[in-house]
């Protein structure tokens, strides 16, 4: 499996492709996907980039809300 990018040696991440029903490996630096044989399949599209960005933002929001919640809970206990 192409765990690392041949071009820049960055880590690649498997991203499931619903159309192809298989996972392609993404390099966020080179912005392209390779298949399991390490052959470049296609570019990382703008749509996918935006999706990834909004996922990250959601994740940051959900983790940021945790300390606030536990603080208010602690207040209720005391």
> Minimum Å distance from CB 29 to Zn ion?
4
Residue 34 is a binding residue for Zn ion (CB under 5 A): no
- Smallest gap from Cβ 50 to Zn ion, in A, equals 20
Q: State yes or no: residue 5 binds Zn ion (CB under 5 A).
A: yes
Q: Is 24:48 a contact under the CB 8 Å cutoff? A: no
Cα dihedral 33, 38, 39, 44, rounded to 10, equals 10
Q: Residue 9 gets which letter from DSSP?
A: -
Residue 11 touching Zn ion (CB under 5 A)? no
Examine residue 27 and tell whether it contacts Zn ion (CB under 5 A): yes
3-state helix, strand, coil in the chain (%, to 5): 40, 25, 35
Q: Is 8 in the site for Zn ion (CB under 5 A)?
A: yes
Minimum distance between the CB of residue 63 and Zn ion, rounded to whole angstroms?
Answer: 27
């Amino acid at each position: 499996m192409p765990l690392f990018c041949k071009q820049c040696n960055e880590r690649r991440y498997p991203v499931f492709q619903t159309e192809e029903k298989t996972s392609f490996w993404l390099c966020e630096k080179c912005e392209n996907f390779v298949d399991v044989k390490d052959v470049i399949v296609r570019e990382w599209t703008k749509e996918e980039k935006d999706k990834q960005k909004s996922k990250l933002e959601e994740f940051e929001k959900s983790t940021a809300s945790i300390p606030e919640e536990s603080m208010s809970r602690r207040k209720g206990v005391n």
